[in-house]
Each structure stands twice: as C-alpha cells, then as structure tokens.
C-alpha cells in the first residue's frame, strides 16, 4: 500500500479558514465527510482530519495524525513530544499578563502571592518559575478576562491580539510572555516515505509563503530611461527587459513587494513609464 500522510487541522475556529486556504494554495483539494470529519485529498497523498485545536498536539504525538496545524501557544501549553516544523505566518497573537488598569505595576514581583486566572497554566507556571515569582494559578476554561471584575483573581494571563478585550474589561497588559503564530508540527517517528511527503508539502508551503505581498509589475518606458528606472526598482535582482514594436521603447517586468511599489509609482511615471500593470503572484519557486 502506498504511503499516505494524515494532517490534523482545526475543525472550526480562528485557525481553520487559513489552514484550509494554505492547503488549497498548496494544491491539496478535498471534500470533508461531515460525519467522520476525515477527508481524502487529491493532489498529494494526504488525508485531512478535523479536530479541536487542543487535541491536535496529542494526536500528532500518538501518530493518529502525522502532521498538525496549531497555534504555537497551544503547542507550548500541551508540551507534547512533537517537532515544530515550520512557522506559518498567520493567526498571530501574544500571551500576556494583565492587571486592573488602576493598579500600579511594579514588575513581575507584583504577582508574588497574588492569584492569576488563565487557561494556560503550564506556560504561566514555567514563566513565573523562571522569574522566581510564586503566584496562585486559577485554571479556568474561558472568559478569563472577566476574572478580576468578579473577584476570582487579581490578574490574568491570556491571549491578546489587538488588546481591545483587555481595555473593555478595565485591564492593562503588563508583560508579554510569549508570541505565537500558527505552526506546522510533526510526529517524531516518521518513516522515510512519510518524511518525503512532508518535504514535498514544505516545498509547496514555502513557495506559497514566498509570494505573500509580492506583485508582478509590467510597464512600458522610453529606452533611454531604462537605467534610471532600474535604479528605482527595489530589491529586484534583474528585471526582464524586452523591446517593444514602437521604436526606442521597452517593456520592463519585475517582481516587487506591494508596499515598495506604492513608493516608486510616482517617480516611475515622472521617468515616462506608461501602461503600468500590477498582477498577483500565486507562487514563487526560488
Ligand atoms: P477549539 O474549539 O478548536 O478548541 P478555541 O476556541 O480553543 O477552538 P480559537 O479561539 O479558534 O480556539 O483560537 C485558535 C488559536 O488562534 C489560538 O490558540 C491562537 O493560537 C490563535 N489566535 C490568534 N488570535 C487570537 C485571538 N485574538 N483570540 C484567540 N486566539 C487567537
Ligand atoms: Zn481550543
């Protein structure tokens, strides 16, 4: 029987849409069976398993899944025997300590002898131990941010993305403990043929991630301005230059970051560039 790899992704939540999109961008197509939550993909010998994110590290350690996409925060909290294969650049957040905004913060010793509510007791206790602080950790499973208001704890340790939830609960962020993004984790005992599929998937993921924010720009310009235009093009190794049917005009093709493009568009026009086309790039294979 030929080798197939099973990859676990979040069933529904903040990771699921981007995880699904990443697999699609890598050419992995599938229809989920809503009863078994398992799908056989085409495009690569891979099966998809939909799980709660908290279960993914354990399933990957046990080889029920060979790969998983999960928040680095969850991987750190579960602390299972899995390999972190790749940071995926989406679902970024941080894990922070926060206290009521009217309290004066004096450094981590503030938390000495105080109670802290969190859903992430392992990451927190490791951090406090490292800082030599003894606190009373209250593990709760959700709505951590209301704990100080209802008198359950004097501080919280939780996920922060914009900070809006903290502010609306009268809290202020005082320490960033961990920065997190979605990561690809793998079982530690893959066979060579399983590893070969992981390597192919990684190759595709890198091609997809490498094209993020990049645009393919085409423009026409008077040939005598070619050198000045080349000087303007940021980070481009060597643009493609082709003669146009119209004499003394050239077409220039280059790949650049979208943000850089906006900075040079006016100078390009001043140099006589015309008919500028900006096109999306799906993949870049270096
Ligand atoms: P599940 O039902 O699968 O257990 P969940 O409610 O535990 O889902 P989500 O809220 O979907 O989890 O968050 C999944 C992950 O998304 C988090 O563990 C974290 O890595 C990341 N994330 C990014 N930004 C945020 C945010 N603002 N709030 C919560 N999680 C975030
Ligand atoms: Zn969860």
- pLDDT of amino acid 145: 96
* Residues 262 and 133 occupy one common structural domain: no
Report the chain's mean pLDDT, rounded to a whole number: 94
Mean of pLDDT values over 98-117: 97
Domain limit, last residue, from 169, 191, 210 = 210
pLDDT tens digit sequence for 55-98 = 999 999 999 999 999 999 999 999 999 999 999 999 999 999 99
- For residue 43, the domain's CATH number is 3.40.190.10
Nearest ligand to the CA of 70 is 1
Q: Cα(267)–Cα(228) distance, rounded to whole angstroms? A: 10
pLDDT tens digit sequence for 236-260 = 667 899 999 999 999 999 998 888 8
Q: Cα(4)–Cα(46) distance, rounded to whole angstroms? A: 5
- Would the CB of 145 count as within 6 Å of ligand 1? no
- Would the CB of 71 count as within 6 Å of ligand 1? yes
pLDDT tens digit sequence for 204-227 = 999 999 998 899 999 999 999 999
Residue 285 in any domain: the answer is no
Q: Cα(27)–Cα(5) distance, rounded to whole angstroms? A: 15
Residue 286 in any domain: the answer is no
* Residues 77 and 110 occupy one common structural domain: no
pLDDT tens digit sequence for 7-42 = 999 999 999 999 999 999 999 998 887 788 999 998
* Span from the CA of 273 to the centroid of ligand 2 (angstroms): 52
Domain limit, last residue, from 180, 198, 227 = 180
- Would the CB of 14 count as within 6 Å of ligand 1? yes
Task: Take atom 18 of ligand 1 and give the residue whose Cα is closest.
Answer: 71
Query: What residues are neighbours of ligand 2 (ion), with CB under 5 Å?
Result: 53-54
* Residues 81 and 148 occupy one common structural domain: no
């Amino acid at each position: 029987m030929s080798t197939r790899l099973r990859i676990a992704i979040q069933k529904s939540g903040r990771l699921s849409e981007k995880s699904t999109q990443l697999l699609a961008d890598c050419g992995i197509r599938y229809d989920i069976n809503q009863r078994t939550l398992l799908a056989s993909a085409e495009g690569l010998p891979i099966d998809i398993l939909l799980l709660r994110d908290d279960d993914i590290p354990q399933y990957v350690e046990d080889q029920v899944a060979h790969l998983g996409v999960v928040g680095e925060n969850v991987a750190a909290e579960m602390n299972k025997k899995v390999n972190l294969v790749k940071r995926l650049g989406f679902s970024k957040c941080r894990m922070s300590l926060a206290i009521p905004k009217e309290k004066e913060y004096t450094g981590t010793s503030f938390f000495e002898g105080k109670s802290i509510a969190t859903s992430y007791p392992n990451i927190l206790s490791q951090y406090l131990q490292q800082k030599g602080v003894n606190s009373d950790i209250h593990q709760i499973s959700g709505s951590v941010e209301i704990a100080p208001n209802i008198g359950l704890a004097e501080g919280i340790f939780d996920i922060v993305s914009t900070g809006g939830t903290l502010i609306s609960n009268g809290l202020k962020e005082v320490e960033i403990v961990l920065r997190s993004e979605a990561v690809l984790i793998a079982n530690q005992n893959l066979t060579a043929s399983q590893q070969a599929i992981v390597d192919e998937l990684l190759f595709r993921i890198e091609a997809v991630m490498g094209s993020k924010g990049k645009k393919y720009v085409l423009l026409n310009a008077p040939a005598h301005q070619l050198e000045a235009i080349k000087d303007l093009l940021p980070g481009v190794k060597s643009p493609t230059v082709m003669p146009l049917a119209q004499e003394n005009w050239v077409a220039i093709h280059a790949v650049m970051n979208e943000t850089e493009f906006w900075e040079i568009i006016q100078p390009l026009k001043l140099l006589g560039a015309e008919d500028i086309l900006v096109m999306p790039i799906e993949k870049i294979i270096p």
